[in-house]
Amino acid sequence: MNEVASYRRNLGFRKESVSCLSHLLCNRPLPAFINPTAIPSRRRTRSYICRRPSVFHKLPQIPRKWAIRPNGHVLNASALTSQSIDAGSYLHVLSGSRLRLTRALRPEGKRSWMVQDASGTEFSVPSKQILFVVGPPSETALSEDLSSVESLIEARVDENEELLEVAWEELSSQDGPFSMRDICQVLFTDEAPLSMLSTHVMLVNDDVYFKARNIKGSFVYEARTPEVVKNIQAQKLEQFRRYQLENAKREDLQRAYETRSLEPLKRNFSEIEIDLLLSSLREIAIELGTGKNNIDSRYAFTGENKFSALDMKAKALVQLTMSALSKPVIPSSAFDVLVAWKQMARHENLIILRAELDTRRRFPEQIHEAADALLSHPPEDIDRCERKDLRHLQAFAIDSSDTTEIDDAIAFDSESNCVYVHVADPSRYFEDTESDLLREALRRSATVYLPTEKLTMFPEKLANELFSLTGKRWDGTALSFQFQIAEDGTIVKESTRVQPTLISKALRLTYEEADNALNDPDDENHDALTALQEIAERRREWREMEGGAIMINNPFPSVEVTGAELDVPDIKLGIVKSDTPAWMLVSELMITACTTGAWFAKEAGIPIPYRSQEPFDYPDDDIIDAIPDGPARAAVVFRNAAPSVTSMYPNEHASLGVDYYTQLTSPIRRSLDLITHFQLKAFIRGQELPFSVQQIQGEIARSQEVGRDARLTENKSKRYWQLEYLRRLGPEARHRAIFVRCLKDNDDRVGFAHLEDYGFQVVVSVPPGLKPAAPISVRVSQVNPRMSVVQAESVLHVDEGSDRLFSEDVGGMLSDVTADDDLV
C-alpha cells in the first residue's frame, strides 16, 4: 500500500495534466493516457454520471440503457483544449446518454473535436464531453480498429468485473480518495492503456463500491463504507426482483392477448390490479365514443384526456400493458385490448358508455320492487266517476310494427263528427309526485331508441303491460283530446275537450295495414279510417295554406341490428316513408291534439311546457318549386330555420303553422308529456297543480340536457351501424343517391348525397355545377365506423355499361367528415 500511496501522490490528476502539457510543449513523447481535469464545482454535486446498475455477489444485472446526466460544472474540461489531443487518439466521450469509444480526427475550433466511432460515423463533440483520452495507436500498442478495441475492453470488463469488489475491499481500509491509476493498479497490476480504458468503463458502470468526486478540478474516487455497500446491494436485489416481476407480467400480458383470455394475468397480477387495469383501459377506450375522426392523433397531444386523469398506479399498469403489447396509449389500442380479452364486444356501443347512459340499461332494485307492487296492486282510479265512457267507439292504434308501448290511438264518432285522440294515462297510477317510480322516470326524461336496444323511461313491464293502450293489464283508462274540424280546416273551438275517458282496447295496426285498409273498400275498418283521413287532409291543407306550415315529405332511416355482441351482427337498413296516407293521417291528428291541449292550457292559465319555433326566412317560391319534394328541398327550406324550443311561454310554432303547441301524446316515453298530463288532470279535478312553474322549468332544463345526450347517442349509434353496413359492402358497390346541397357555399365540388336505399347522407365529391335533387351514383371508397369517417365519390355515367369516378378534380381537398358534419 505504501507503493500505491506514493504512486497516488506523485501521479495526481492535476499533475498528470500539467505533465502532459509540458510533453506537448517540449516535443517529448505523450503519455499513453490523459484524464482531463475539470473546473471545480461551485456547489456540491451528485456524481457526474448516473451509472448503469451493477450488482455483485452473484446478483444478476438488470439490462438498462445508459442514463447519463451531463452536469455543466463537472464535465466542463476547460483545461483540455484542441491542442492537448493528438489526431488519432482514443477518446471516451459522452454522446447523448451513451459512453462511446471514438477516435479523434481533427479539432473543431478551440473547444470541440470531430471524432469517429466504431461504425465509421463522424460527429462533433465538445471538450467537456470528453471523459478520457488515450494517446494515438502508435504510442499505445492498441489496434487502429475501434471495433477490435471495443471488443477487447468489453471482454476484459466482463472477465474482471467482480475484481472491482476486491479492489474496494483492499482500498476501503486505506485513506482515500483514489485516482483511476490506483484502482487500475489494484485491478490489473499495470497501467497499460487497455487496462486504463477498462478501468474507466468499470468505474463508470459502478454505483455500488466507489463514488466519483470532483476535488479541485480533478476526478477522484472514494470507497463507500461497508454499510452503504450493503444497503445499495439490498436495493439492487429488490430492484432486480421488481425487474423480474415486471418481465413476468409482460409475458403474462402478451400471453393473455394471444390467447384472448384473462387467465394468464392471474399468475402475477393481483385481483385488485386486474380490476384497476380493466377499468382504466375502459376509461380510455370510451373516448372512441366521441365519434371524432382524429381522437387517436389528438390523444397524445392534449393533456386533457382520460389517461392523464388516472392515478399513478393506474397509469403504470396501462403503460406496462401497452409497452408489453407494443401499442401506443391511445383509445383505439385500449379498445383493441379489451376486445381481445373479451371485456368488450367488437361492436360495443361506446357512445352509450361515454354519455353514461349505460346505467339506464338497468333499474335500481327498489324501482323493480315498486313496479311489481304497482302491477300487483294498482291504486284506485280517483277519476273513475268522471271519466267519459267512449268504449262504444272503435279506437285504432297505428304505429310501427316494432313498437311495444302503445301510447296513443284515434277514434271517430260519426254521430257528433268528433275526432278523439286517446293518450295513455300513466299519471292515473300515481297518487302523488313523490313516488320513487315517478322520480326515476323524470330523472331519465325520455326513452332512448337504439338499433340494438331500448333504454326505457319506465320499467318495460309497466310500460308494456299496464300503461300501454294494448297492454294485458291495462284497465281502459285514457286522457282524451276531442275536437271537430270545420270544412275550411279550422278547429271548432267549442268542440274541444280535454277529459279522462274509458275506451275500448285499441285495434293494433301497422302503417302498412292501415294503408291497405284505406285502399280496400271491403275492409271492415275502411269507412272509419277514410272519415278520419278526410278530416286530417282538411286540417293539413289549412295548416299549409293559412298557417304557413312547411310540408316536406322526407323519408328517414330505420336501422335494426341483431346479435350486436357477435363479431358479425345482422344489420338491416331501411327507410320509413312519411308521405303514405296512414302516416299523414296519424301525424296530422297528433299535431291537432297537441294544439288542442296547448290552447286549453293557455286559456285556463295552466303552466305546462310549450314547444315553439320563431318564424324564419323562407326561400322564394320559385326556388322551392324548382326542387322536387324530398331531402334536397328540406335542406333548402330548413337551412335557415330557427330551432324549436321548450319553455313556459305559449308562442307560435312556425314550421307547424299553429299558434300554440305542446307535446302530450307520449307520456310513457317523454317526461314533459307526463308532466303536462299531471297538470291538465289536476286542473280538471279542481285540485292544486302538482308542479309549480319553477319545478317545471327545472324539469325542462333537465329534459333538454338529457334529451340532447339521448338524441346524440341515438344519431351516432345509427350512424355507426349505417357505416358498418357500407363497409361490409366494400368500395366496389354503387349506391343510388340524390345530391342534396354543397358542403360549402363557395365550393361546389363537395356536397351531401342522400342514399336513397338507406335514408341517410354522406359527403361526396361531385362535378361542379351539379343541381340539388340531381340523381347520382355513389361509390364509398373508405369507411371507418368507429371514427365516423366516410370518404365517397360520385360516379358519372358516361355511357351505358361504363362509369367514370369523379375524384381527380377534387384532389386532396376532400377531408374526412364526421357524423356531426353531415347533418343538414
Among 280, 314, 344, residue at a domain's last position: 344
Residue 415: which of 392, 385, 389, 386 has the closest Cα?
A: 392
pLDDT single digits (tens) 450-463: 999 999 999 999 99
Among 319, 344, 369, residue at a domain's last position: 344
The answer on pLDDT for 591 being more than 50 is: yes
Would you say residue 578 lies in a domain?
yes
Q: How far apart are CA 503 and CA 667, in angstroms?
A: 17
| Residue-level pLDDT at 763 | 92
- Please give the full DSSP string across 51-99, using - where no structure is assigned: PPP---TTPPPPP--------HHHH--TT--GGGS-TT-EEEEEETTEE
> Across-strand partners of 399?
510
- Please give the full DSSP string across 333-382, using - where no structure is assigned: HHHHHHHHTTSS-TT--HHHHHTT-GGGGS--HHHHHHHHHHHHSPPP-T
The answer on pLDDT for 51 being more than 60 is: no
Q: How far apart are CA 617 and CA 630, in angstroms?
A: 19
Could you tell me if 424 and 503 lie in one domain? Answer: yes
Contact between 59 and 35 (Cβ < 8 Å):
no
- In angstroms, how far apart are the furthest CA atoms of the chain? 132
Would you say residue 353 lies in a domain?
no
Q: Which of 21-30, 73-82, 254-263, 290-299 has the highest mean pLDDT?
A: 254-263
The answer on pLDDT for 16 being more than 70 is: no
Residue 765's H or E segment, with its range, is strand 760-765
| Residue-level pLDDT at 302 | 61
Cα four-point dihedral sign 308, 311, 312, 315: negative
Mean pLDDT across 61-73 = 35
Could you tell me if 251 and 216 lie in one domain? Answer: no
| Residue-level pLDDT at 303 | 58
Contact between 667 and 500 (Cβ < 8 Å):
no
Q: What angle do CA 303, 254, 240 make, to 5 degrees?
A: 80
Residue 104's H or E segment, with its range, is strand 98-108
Residues of the chain with pLDDT > 90, as a percent, come to 61
Would you say residue 230 lies in a domain?
no
Count the domains in the chain. Answer: 4
Could you tell me if 441 and 589 lie in one domain? Answer: yes
Residue 777: which of 815, 758, 750, 804 has the closest Cα?
A: 804
| Residue-level pLDDT at 796 | 54
More confident call, 407 vs 37:
407
The C-alpha cell at 43 is 456547489
Would you say residue 756 lies in a domain?
yes
Could you tell me if 369 and 449 lie in one domain? Answer: yes
Which of 198-207, 337-346, 714-723, 796-805 has the lowest average pLDDT?
796-805
Would you say residue 428 lies in a domain?
yes
The C-alpha cell at 269 is 397480477
Residue 718 to residues 234, 291, 360, 726, 815: CA-CA distances in angstroms? 60, 12, 18, 13, 22
More confident call, 793 vs 598:
598
Mean pLDDT across 816-823 = 30
Contact between 282 and 338 (Cβ < 8 Å):
yes
| Residue-level pLDDT at 697 | 97
The answer on pLDDT for 18 being more than 50 is: no
More confident call, 450 vs 74:
450
| Residue-level pLDDT at 392 | 96
Would you say residue 350 lies in a domain?
no
Could you tell me if 276 and 319 lie in one domain? Answer: yes
- From the number of C-beta atoms within 10 Å of its C-beta (0-12, 13-18, 19+), residue 505 rates as middle
The C-alpha cell at 68 is 447519463
Q: How far out from the chain centre does Cα 86 lie? A: 60
Residue 537 CB neighbours (<10 A):
16
| Residue-level pLDDT at 516 | 96
Torsion of CA 711, 712, 716, 718, to 10 degrees: 0
Cα four-point dihedral sign 740, 744, 750, 752: negative
Among 315, 344, 373, residue at a domain's last position: 344
Q: Give exposure, 279-288, as e/b (b: 16+ Cβ within 10 Å).
A: ebbbbbbbbb
Would you say residue 614 lies in a domain?
yes
**Sheet strands side by side (includes 408-413):** 388-390, 497-503, 477-483, 418-424, 408-413, 396-399, 507-510
Mean pLDDT across 573-586 = 92
| Residue-level pLDDT at 431 | 87
pLDDT single digits (tens) 393-403: 999 999 998 88
Domain with 772 in it: what CATH number?
2.40.50.140
| Residue-level pLDDT at 63 | 45
Q: Give exposure, 8-27, as e/b (b: 16+ Cβ within 10 Å).
A: beebbbeebbeebbeeeeee
Residue 619 to residues 26, 345, 632, 639: CA-CA distances in angstroms? 99, 47, 13, 10
Beta strands in 504-555 (DSSP E): 507-510
Q: Give exposure, 236-267, as e/b (b: 16+ Cβ within 10 Å).
A: beeebeebeebeebbebbeebbeeeebebbee
Could you tell me if 398 and 327 lie in one domain? Answer: no
Domain that holds residue 762: 730-822
| Residue-level pLDDT at 552 | 81
What 8-state DSSP symbol labels residue 394?
P
Could you tell me if 465 and 583 lie in one domain? Answer: yes
Which of 58-72, 251-265, 445-459, 645-659 has the lowest average pLDDT?
58-72
Would you say residue 237 lies in a domain?
no
Which of 84-98, 355-369, 644-658, 748-762 has the lowest average pLDDT?
84-98
Could you tell me if 467 and 391 lie in one domain? Answer: yes
Could you tell me if 435 and 547 lie in one domain? Answer: yes
Q: How far apart are CA 349 and CA 53, in angstroms?
A: 47
Could you tell me if 126 and 186 lie in one domain? Answer: yes
Amino acid at position 201, single letter: V
pLDDT single digits (tens) 234-254: 999 999 999 999 999 999 999
pTM of the full structure? 0.74
The C-alpha cell at 705 is 340536457
Task: Spell out the SS3 assignment of 253-285.
Answer: HHHHHHHCCCHHHHHCCCHHHHHHHHHHHHHHH
The answer on pLDDT for 86 being more than 50 is: yes
| Residue-level pLDDT at 5 | 38
The answer on pLDDT for 654 being more than 90 is: yes
Radius of gyration in angstroms for the set of CA atoms belonging to the chain, rounded to a whole number: 41
| Residue-level pLDDT at 554 | 80
Residue 377: which of 473, 482, 489, 297 has the closest Cα?
A: 473
Could you tell me if 631 and 666 lie in one domain? Answer: yes
| Residue-level pLDDT at 728 | 95
Residues of the chain with pLDDT > 70, as a percent, come to 85
Q: How far apart are CA 759 and CA 775, in angstroms?
A: 14
Backbone angles phi, psi at 485, to 5 degrees: -115, 120
| Residue-level pLDDT at 4 | 36
Residue 281 to residues 56, 331, 642, 671, 812: CA-CA distances in angstroms? 39, 8, 41, 35, 35
The C-alpha cell at 284 is 380510455
Could you tell me if 515 and 625 lie in one domain? Answer: yes
The answer on pLDDT for 2 being more than 50 is: no
pLDDT single digits (tens) 519-564: 999 999 999 999 999 999 999 999 999 999 988 888 889 999 999 9
What 8-state DSSP symbol labels residue 289?
G
Q: How far apart are CA 739 and CA 757, in angstroms?
A: 14
The answer on pLDDT for 134 being more than 70 is: yes
Mean pLDDT across 660-688 = 97
